Structure 1
Amino acid sequence: MTSAVADDTTDQIVFGGVDSHADTIHVAVISDNGGHLADAEFATAAAGYAAALAFLSAHGHVRAIGVEGTASYGAGFTRAARSAGLDIVEVNRPDRAERRRIGKSDPIDAYAAARAALSGRASSSPKDDTVAGIRALHNAARSAVKARTAALNQITHILVTAPETIRAKFGQLKGADRIDALARLRPAGDAVHTAVLTALKSLARRVRELTAEHQALTRALDSEVTVHNPGLRAVYGVGPDTAAQLLVTAGGNPERLRTEASFAALCGAAPVPASSGRTNRHRLSRGGDRAANAALYRIALVRMSGDPRTRDYVARQTAAGRTKKEIIRLLKRAIAREMFRCLTTTATIPNIADLRPLRQSKNITLTAAARHFGVWHATISTLERGIRRDDDLVNTYRDWLTAA
């Protein structure tokens, strides 16, 4: 560790780099011409962050600090540095080729982060904390789904090898009927039957609890997402889970993504050039945030199922000879463009709070309204509750109710 600092360096321009870990951060300082000045290790605590910032400032005027893991282990240091008015840029970890060439250690990674900030290779602002609550709820909801799926799979596996009397009674049941029957069990019989039934009852009750937990988390997540970005949540095909994932991917400050093409690349939905010589082509991107890519995929499937414009587009592309996979790739790229606009601009959402009271005051049923517009009654119900967004139908529906 280099610690000697000349007295005449306090006015020079320096750049910092931080390699973050769970318990420590390693901080490096370089001059504006790339020369190594010093590096040191600090604890991931408020006192450690303050000491790290003082260490950086002691070597000169800090122009920028490159931080690895600004949304994970480096989040605490990033908040402290921003509060001190310092410019933070997000640094991706070095690729494998570079690590094979120069090796890996905390000082090496910290100096690499500082050089990335100096050269401009790292220029993205880190995500801010405004979506931290959404990220926490989203992770908890996903965890509940995974645990519920694991419990359901365990029930299925136990029934495959269970005694014949148990398998014959519960093996034919499906879904909620099986869970309800197993949750009401009173284990009895010999030791094997009692053990198997006890395990099945425990797993079934776990499934019930996790289902209720997931529903509660989804309601809380929907509320948070709607407050944070009502325009995104109101887009056709965007549910609480997909909206939360896109907000987490973009961060609370999506303006750091300068173009919609950069957002599409971040989501792995932008074709990657793969040209060479006389060959001019693109290949499918397999990088980016795969969870965001999956969110775009789910939106595409929903729209292919129920959105008339998307269905017409799919029909045209199918007639042109494209496969379903190719069509979905095209849709994901177009959806990424739309999602970027929703994330970076404030959308005005039509007020729908008056629709249900207006319909009820006219004694018009959902079925009658749906029959008039030639849609399912669930379409009118979701429209009134703000789950589905269709501005044209909202205006037409309100005019019809007013005239009725």
Structure 2
Amino acid sequence: MTAAAAEAIADQKVFGGVDSHAETLHVAVISDNGGHLADAEFATTTAGYAASLAFLAAHGHVLAIGIEGTASYGAGLTRVARSHGYRVVEVNRPDRAERRRIGKSDPIDAYAAARAALSGRASAAPKDDTVAGIRALHNAARSAIKARTAALNQISHLLIAAPGTIRAAYGQLKGADRTDALARLRPTGDAVHIAVLTALKSLARRVKELTTEHDALTKALDTHVTQHNPGLRAAYGVGPDTAAQLLVTAGGNPERMRTEASFAALCGAAPVPASSGKTSRHRLSRGGDRAANAALYRIALVRMSSDTRTREYVARQTTAGRTKKEIIRLLKRAITREIFRCLTTTVTVPAIADLRPRRQAMNITLTAAAQHFGVWPTTISRLERGLSRDDSLARAYRDWLHTA
């Protein structure tokens, strides 16, 4: 290659596109005016990542790389490219209409990813690795509870068709009492009774083991979530599971979310215009991350049942003629606004570590403190242990302890 040609390539501005798979990456390069330059396939190994970046750089100055699956098959290349200073954007797979029009292959998808980076249609920064541990713990905890639910359902189905003596002995038991009784079984009787009782005992022991596993994972998840974002974890009605899901949805880098409205749309909590002609209305969004939407739904239910301000709001909206579904939609949108603030800014959580030692030093019982504020003793206990957050009650409680 002549010096002039090398200089021309160095001055050329290009965009990269990557179609990622479990074992291979297909990389395409286009010029800044959309012309196809080259494409090649590389392995999903350290050497393959280095070779793919060298392939891109050999065609000019890389302005951006569009990668499909930045949090799955393309995670390795995304990590390496960002560590080398390349701008990486997350690309969604082409929609069905485009695939029907131009077909489907690895080179086609790679060039489509490059064009998405060039046009600006793909502009979202990929998630960083700061929530990778939370994602792993959250997935493990969710899978444990799903397996536990499956085992409990199997126990119920076995008891329905079990011999009468077994059904009479264990069919009326519920919850942990039934699981504990079945786990202590010593199968006896004829061949059918022994087989059914053995299966029930195995399933019951599986339920107990999965319960213990889920509790341990939830405890570890709570620790990681609290360390990562104490303000989010301390928000009313936000538990370890919901906080983890919202962090996984948002990612650890808050710059991905430009506005609070975009985060609401990401969570499927933003009303979608559905107007036509003389009709002007909005409908509930059916898009976005449905797991994040489910987390918002659970937070809304907790607040509707135990938060005073939320209960008053629900009463006002009910009086105004809104249905429960509409009220929950409004609550999810309002909760999204609060969650966005917790994710993008540092929220100071009031200290509560001094409350319990001071109460105990003054020989004041939980019951006496609860009676003074007109709440249940468990409310004071959860406040002291940091299991629930109520800033106004915490301030009033601290003032009362100093003057009591």
TM category (shorter chain) comes to over 0.9
Determine the C-alpha separation between the residues in 2 that align with 1:84 and 1:278.
Answer: 54
Residue 27 of structure 1 aligns to a residue whose secondary structure is strand
Question: 1:5-404, aligned counterparts within 5 Å?
Answer: 8-404=8-404
Residue 10 of structure 1 aligns to a residue whose secondary structure is helix
Determine the C-alpha separation between the residues in 2 that align with 1:326 and 1:378.
Answer: 32
The code of the aligned residue for 1:182 comes to L
Distance apart, 1:290 and its partner CA: 0.2
Determine the C-alpha separation between the residues in 2 that align with 1:86 and 1:260.
Answer: 27
Determine the C-alpha separation between the residues in 1 that align with 2:123 and 2:275.
Answer: 27
Determine the C-alpha separation between the residues in 2 that align with 1:396 and 1:279.
Answer: 50
Residue 370 of structure 1 aligns to a residue whose secondary structure is helix
Determine the C-alpha separation between the residues in 1 that align with 2:172 and 2:202.
Answer: 19
Distance apart, 1:7 and its partner CA: 7.3
Moved more, 187-196 or 278-287: 278-287
Distance apart, 1:9 and its partner CA: 1.8
Determine the C-alpha separation between the residues in 2 that align with 1:110 and 1:224.
Answer: 36
Distance apart, 1:198 and its partner CA: 0.3
Distance apart, 1:399 and its partner CA: 1.2
Residue 150 of structure 2 aligns to a residue whose secondary structure is helix
Residue 201 of structure 1 aligns to a residue whose secondary structure is helix
Determine the C-alpha separation between the residues in 1 that align with 2:274 and 2:151.
Answer: 44
Cα deviations by residue, 1:176-204 (Å, 9 ceiling, x for unpaired) = 00000000000111111000000000000
Q: Percent identity?
A: 83
The code of the aligned residue for 2:255 comes to E
Residue 358 of structure 1 aligns to a residue whose secondary structure is helix
Cα deviations by residue, 1:148-171 (Å, 9 ceiling, x for unpaired) = 000000000000100110011000
Q: Which runs of 5+ in 2 are unaligned?
A: none
The code of the aligned residue for 1:179 comes to T
The code of the aligned residue for 1:350 comes to P
RMSD of aligned Cα (Å) = 1.0
TM-score, length basis structure 1 = 0.98
Cα deviations by residue, 1:296-343 (Å, 9 ceiling, x for unpaired) = 000000000011110011001000111000100010011111111110
Determine the C-alpha separation between the residues in 2 that align with 1:173 and 1:280.
Answer: 54
Residue 14 of structure 2 aligns to a residue whose secondary structure is strand
Determine the C-alpha separation between the residues in 1 that align with 2:360 and 2:281.
Answer: 58
Moved more, 269-278 or 120-129: 269-278
Determine the C-alpha separation between the residues in 2 that align with 1:112 and 1:341.
Answer: 35
Q: Which runs of 5+ in 1 are unaligned?
A: none
Determine the C-alpha separation between the residues in 2 that align with 1:226 and 1:248.
Answer: 14
